[in-house]
Structure 1
Amino acid sequence: MDITIIDIPKIHDVRGSLAVIEGDCIPFEMKRVYYLFDVPSDAYRGGHSHKDQVELLVSLSGSFEVVLDDGKSRKSVMLNKPDKGLLIPKGIWRELENFSSGAVCLVLASGEFDESDYIRDYDSFLSSKQS
């Protein structure tokens, strides 16, 4: 499974740290930014794959788990540092769960919203991996 944790450059300062995502920091052109917040700890988010879109997920606050599935194996990654991003390539099923209180998930996406790019049914996702 080609999943990568990316270090986000940060500048330390006694007044607070600053993280910057620009230029070559991520391996795609960012076309959309969105974030999840006020997620109850027992909530489940995600549950989809993208045909073409690539995403970088960052925990800006708190923590959550990302369950990743390539159709052959599953693994879970805990995100809990605002200077680490999880790069998810196209064709990977992802689910977000186990949100801590106050968790904020930032998503940088390579494409604008396009419903036809989503695979939202797990059986359809598995079928797409066999073609």
Structure 2
Amino acid sequence: MAASTTGTPVGRVKPSRLIQLEQHRNEHGCISVVESEWAAGFPIQRVYFLHDLAPGTSRGGHAHRALEQLFVAAHGGFTIRIDDGFRQAEYRLDDPSTGLYVGPMVWRDLSDFTPDAVCLVLASQHYQEADYYRDHAHFLRDCRRPE
């Protein structure tokens, strides 16, 4: 069950939100479906997954200028903390039928991975180092600039 510890949407450009993935279940099992713009809300350009993570590992620790992502706990679970410079939220993802959309200009930290966790990430762009904020203070300075 994926749950938010806060009800406040995070993300001033495009608010983060939980997305229920399309599922088809029968006597053989279940298939969860993500079809680009329909479920993710953006065209998917890159797919990657985190797995075989050492105990106590944290991932993320960055934000993106333009990239949009959908995070899914394909197996096991993890916690994702997000921050847009004004609001923060924390989600525990541990159900493969639910994804968390995280838009641009949102800092993300992933932690508390179960030993068997597989974090599937669908991204709107190919890898571009220039899109990353890796320094939290620099991110806060930019996202808090008056519009």
Which bracket does the TM-score occupy, shorter chain normalised?
over 0.9
Question: Structure 1: how far apart are the matches of 2:55 and 2:101?
Answer: 23
**Residue 22 (structure 2) aligned to one of 9, 13, 27:** 9
Q: Secondary structure at the match of 2:126?
A: coil
Alignment-derived partner of residue 20 in structure 1 = 33
- How do 1:1-131 residues align onto structure 2 when only pairs under 5 Å count? 1=10, 2-23=15-36, 24-131=38-145
TM-score, reference length from structure 2: 0.86
Question: Structure 1: how far apart are the matches of 2:54 and 2:90?
Answer: 19
Give the RMSD, CA atoms, in angstroms. Answer: 0.9
Q: Secondary structure at the match of 1:126?
A: helix
Stretch moving more, 69-78 or 92-101: 69-78
Question: Structure 2: how far apart are the matches of 1:125 and 1:70?
Answer: 9
TM-score, reference length from structure 1: 0.96
Deviation at 1:73, TM superposition (A): 2.5
Deviation at 1:104, TM superposition (A): 0.2
Structure 1 segments of 4+ aligned residues over 6 angstroms from their partners: none
Deviation at 1:41, TM superposition (A): 2.9
Question: Structure 2: how far apart are the matches of 1:21 and 1:44?
Answer: 26
**Structure 2: stretches of 5+ with no match in the other structure:** 1-9
Q: Secondary structure at the match of 1:124?
A: helix
Question: Structure 1: how far apart are the matches of 2:70 and 2:17?
Answer: 9
Stretch moving more, 16-25 or 73-82: 16-25
Instruction: Output one character per residue of 1:10-35: Cα deviation in whole Å (capped at 9) or x when no partner.
Output: 11022110111115122100000000
Deviation at 1:6, TM superposition (A): 0.5
